[in-house]
């Protein structure tokens, strides 16, 4: 089993290195990345947070559960090398449940300079509430979804085909009827002339 894992690790690393070496420096829109030292913690517990890709010139703010939630900690500028390494404490009294840690970067005037980064934090203990942002932590859609496309017996139903046939038949009969009518009139009008004489 260990060998399989080694091979797997080796394979992934090799593939990764190949792709990475071939990669050109195009812009990425994903922004910074953050990682929590643990995603399960109790209220009052200290949690480490690290991240990369931040703007060096602006301070980082870590907020609890909302874009304008309580500030857990602030890391002043400069953010050397764009790398974040900080700690925060889960607010005392927080009920158990899933929460979101929001990492913002702000300019000197307090305005945001970066799209906020989100990270899930599960507070353990008694039953708690779900995150206020986005979907629940499981993030699964509960809508009733059909298994495949709804189908008729055929791409054109029998009724439609019958209607087409009726339509064509109807046109034909109409034309035939009109032809018969026209022919009949041509045949009978001289008879009327005869009656007048």
Partner 1 sequence: MLKHRYGRRLALVGVGLVALAQGVAGAAPNKSPLGPPTQPIQATKGDEDPLRTYSGPFMAVDPSNSNNIVASTADFRSRKCLLLRSGDGGSTWKNLDAVPANASYPSCISNNSNVFQGPLAFGRNSTLYYGLAGWDIQDRAVGSGGNVNILVARSTDLGETWQTAIVRNVRGNEGEKVENNRPVGQIAVDSKSGKDDIVYISWQYSTPFVTAPNANPTRAVVATSVDGGRTFGDPVDIADPAWQNPANRQKAMQSYTATTLAPGVTTTTIARPEGSRVAQPDQAANFGGRNPAITVDNKGHAYALWFNTGANLAPAVLTGEFVSVTSDNGKTWQAYQAGPYGPYTNGIGRIAWSPGGGPQGTVHIVSQVNTTVTPQNTSGIASSATIAHKMSTDGGKTWSEPKILPDFDAKDMFVGVIPMISVAPNGRVDVAWWDTRSDPGIRGNDVYYTYSNDDGKTWSKNTRVTDRTIDRKYGVWGNNFDMSSPVGIASTNAYAVFGWDDTRNTDTSLAANSGFGGGTTDIYTSAVQFEVFGAGTSSAVKVALAAVVGVLVVGLILLGVSVSSKRRTGGTTEKTKVTSGKEPAKVK
Residues of this chain, 45-74, that bind partner 1 according to CB under 8 A: 53, 55, 57, 67
Single out the residue of 3, 19, 110, 127 in contact with partner 1 (rule: CB under 8 A).
19
Backbone angles phi, psi at 153, to 5 degrees: -65, -25
- Among 48, 113, 50, 54, which Cα is nearest to 81's? 54
CB atoms within 10 A of CB 106: 16
Residue from 3, 92, 110, 155 binding partner 1 (CB under 8 A): 155
Nearer to partner 1, 43 or 133 (CB): 133
Under the criterion CB under 8 A, does residue 44 sit at the interface with partner 1? no
- Specify the residue, 75 or 105, whose C-beta has the smaller distance to partner 1: 105
Q: Which is nearer to partner 1, 71 or 108 (CB)?
A: 108
Binding mask 80-109 for partner 1 (x = CB under 8 A): ------------------x-xx-----x--
State in angstroms the smallest separation of the CB of 93 from partner 1. Answer: 21
Q: Beta strand 59-64 with 97-106: parallel, antiparallel or unpaired?
A: antiparallel
Find the helix or strand (DSSP H, E) in which 98 lies.
strand 97-106
Residue 77 binds partner 1, judged by CB under 8 A? no
- The residue range among 6-14, 41-49, 78-86, 87-95 that interacts with partner 1, by the rule CB under 8 A, is 6-14
Does 3 participate in binding partner 1 (rule CB under 8 A)?
no
Residues contacting 105, CB < 8 A, separation 6+: 54, 55, 58, 59, 60, 61, 79, 112, 113, 114
- Which of 3, 29, 76, 109 binds partner 1 (CB under 8 A)? It is 29
Q: Which residues pair with 101 in a beta bridge?
A: 64, 119
Element (DSSP H or E) covering residue 121: strand 117-123
Within residues 157-196, the interface with partner 1 by CB under 8 A covers: 157, 159-188, 190-191, 193-194
Encoded tokens for 139:
């993030």
Rounded Cα gap, residues 80 and 62, in angstroms: 17
Q: How far is the CB of 176 from partner 1 (least distance, A)?
A: 5
């Amino acid at each position: 089993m260990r060998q399989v894992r080694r091979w797997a690790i080796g394979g992934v690393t090799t593939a990764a290195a190949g792709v990475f070496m071939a990669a050109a420096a195009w812009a990425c829109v994903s922004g910074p990345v953050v990682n929590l030292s643990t995603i399960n913690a109790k209220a009052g517990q200290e949690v480490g947070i690290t991240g990369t890709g931040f703007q060096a010139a602006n301070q980082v703010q870590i907020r609890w559960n909302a874009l304008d939630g309580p500030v857990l900690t602030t890391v002043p500028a400069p953010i050397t090398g764009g790398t974040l390494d900080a700690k925060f404490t889960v607010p005392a009294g927080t009920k158990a449940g899933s929460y979101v840690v929001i990492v913002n970067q702000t300019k000197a005037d307090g305005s945001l300079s970066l799209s906020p980064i989100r990270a899930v934090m599960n507070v353990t203990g008694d039953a708690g509430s779900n995150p206020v942002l986005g979907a629940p932590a499981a993030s699964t859609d509960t809508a009733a979804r059909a298994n495949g496309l709804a189908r008729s017996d055929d791409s054109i139903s029998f009724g439609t085909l019958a209607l087409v046939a009726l339509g064509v038949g109807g046109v034909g009969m109409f034309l035939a009827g009109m032809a018969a009518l026209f022919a009949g009139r041509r045949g009978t009008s001289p008879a009327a002339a005869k009656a007048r004489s």
